[in-house]
Structure 1
Amino acid sequence: MLYRAYQTSADLLSPSRLAAQYLGSSLWQQNSQRSAARRIAAAMEVYSRMRLTHTRPAYGIQSVTVDGEEVAVHEEVALVAPFGTLLHFRKNTSAVHPPVLLAAPLSGHFATLLRETVRTLLRDHDVYLTDWHNARDVPLWHGGFGLDDYTLQLIKFLEAVGPGVHMVAVCQPCVAALAATALMAEDDNPSTPRSLTLMAGPVDCRINPTAVNKLANERPIGWFERNLISRVPWPHAGMMRRVYPGFLQLTAFMSMNPERHKQQFQKLFEYLVEGEIEKAATIRDFYDEYLAVNDLPAEFYLETVERVFQTYDLPRGALTVGERKVNPAAIRRTALLTVEGERDDICAVGQTVAAQDLCTGVRPYLKTHHLQAGVGHYGVFSGSKWNAQIYPRVREAIHTAAEVH
């Protein structure tokens, strides 16, 4: 009922938003210098953009600078699975760079949220990315997709990249990335990551619990299932699939700081009226990405809430994948880098570095931790400090591990 009500509302508002988009565009073309027309056009554009979309935006990475030279980048499909695609950002260069699998969160947003992370890694690495599909577009006959399935899919993606791969996990997938690495190490899998970088991930949420952690523990898992899980309505390909709708995830995110979003849309209106096109474009581009939502499979969402945020299976030594118990101590030859942001209010300081204590089989010289001052959650993998201060540490960890092997 919840998803159907949302869909009906979106369908009813769609004609007015399209009309506003058309009217605003016409006014810009015909009366770009008249203040009254500019205000109306700006208002029409802001209104037309205050909407959710459900299609993955383009990555738009056409080229990257490698050793001072601009080289073309081609986005290729390396492997397709029902719930995700392994993307390869192939560069037109003869330079040989370490292969890196970037594990993106399966959350209310698409993996394009890591666009800047990909672009930066491409300078010195051969980059692959987990491009998770919108669950509402996955037909019901493909079955469910839970936390175990995510972990096993990571293993398949790593095997597709092949021996010598390195893995970088951002936020939510840190638990699954650590579990996948442990299982592969225990099996002596030749595609076991040579290095594992965990960035702002909830390895042990018992440490410095944030508002997000506390919210997950305020109610039993049954409450989440009854109140937050809906079935995908007709006419989507995943009709009748149980999902945690992306619009609910986005609502939760925006409710944490509603005044900031209100101010940003106000600024967008003012910049458009004043002709500050570049400033307006910055806000417009951000919200085009931010308002593109991705539905999560219900199994994955509920299992993550319960096993990661409520029962803390990994740090308690109780995490299993299928019938197998995950043993982080089995990791011996994989270098480990953990990264945290000083001001992270989603994954607090101490929650990610906890992986260092779990991986007792990794020798001290293969372990590194970086605490970045002055950044919040998103600043760990995007923005100026990511590029100038965090990325050099990530690059060093990967290249050092590649040389050791």
Structure 2
Amino acid sequence: MMSCFSCCRVEVQHRTASFKERTNAVGGNNKNGKFLRSFMNKLSSKTGGSKQKIPEEIQNIGKAKVSAHIFTFPELAVATDNFNPNCMIGEGGFGRVYKGYIESIDQIVAVKQLDRNGMQGSREFFSEVLMLSLVHHPNLVNLIGYCTDGDQRILVYEYMPKGSLENHLLDLPPGQEPLDWNTRMKIAEGAAKGLECLHDFADPPVIYRDFKASNILLDANFNPKLSDFGLAKLGPTEGKDHVSTRVMGTYGYCAPEYAMTGKLTTKSDVYSFGVVFLELISGRRAIDIERPTEEQNLVAWAEPLFKDRQKFMLMADPLLEGNCPEKGLYQALAVAAMCLQEEADSRPLIGDVVTALEFLARAKDNDNCCRITKKTVACMLNP
């Protein structure tokens, strides 16, 4: 099956070379990458205990261009009407997210206030500030600034008016139109490009570790951006093929080898991408306890259907009402199936996935499909 993606490599290499010429990546060079790795490894749960600690350490990382503002708590309180519940636009294990307006920068923002008694501590907060200060890409959310007054841990992001991808897949409010097929493919392409930046362009590479629909935010034009980097890990170097770490992330999205052994690789992110891509295609949740037992786990439900071409159309989101190209659906399912291979080595690299999705997102004539996705479908149907 992996040979299906071999013809993508030239295009991936060309894109990688041109991307590195115009963007910043973690560390910026080998020396800075080593410093960042050493620094992150030494982080303790008490890191960031003072207001000055975080900005000082960020500035210490080589010649990185750090543009994040340092906000005061009173400034953010004013911006969010004293963290008024009416301004709240999201809530999770990390705490609450508010929509606000910061006069000093004349910008509408999203303000994430970490729950001091919640699941994310100073280490995760510090990790997110570092990653988003040093990694820049159109498909990664822009960190505008942060606040560390006293025991406050607050992040300030660009405001994404369409909210998370999760909010557009199921339980749509009255009057909200479901995502059409082309928009779904463009969201998948952009989200994969965000992962590609972390895996292939950052030095050292970054493993996202929490790729899921609720962490993919959408701007006014439905362009996706990855958010929430608190669980991100620096990838293996010096000949190692994995990072050993405690299992974190969200049930239903974690790769099987990571869940069982704690061995984390970029292929773990590829598996999680496959789950989200299948959510986009099917309109189903990764885990849905309200469905019959045999359908509660999305991947387990899909596995037998992947093997029966006659059932492919049954995997399309009913909200599409049949408005999806048959060949395009087959090709998308083939990419999802490859990302969801149980063996990590059998999964494609994210760069190859991006190349395949670029064709899917731009395909106008589904009877004249690209050779890459045709080969992909053939391999899946005839293993």
TM-score range, shorter-chain basis? Answer: under 0.3
- TM-score, scaled to structure 1: 0.24
Flag the structure with more relative contact order, 1 or 2, with Cα contacts below 8 A and sequence separation at least 6: 1
Quick check: which one's strand share is greater?
A: 1
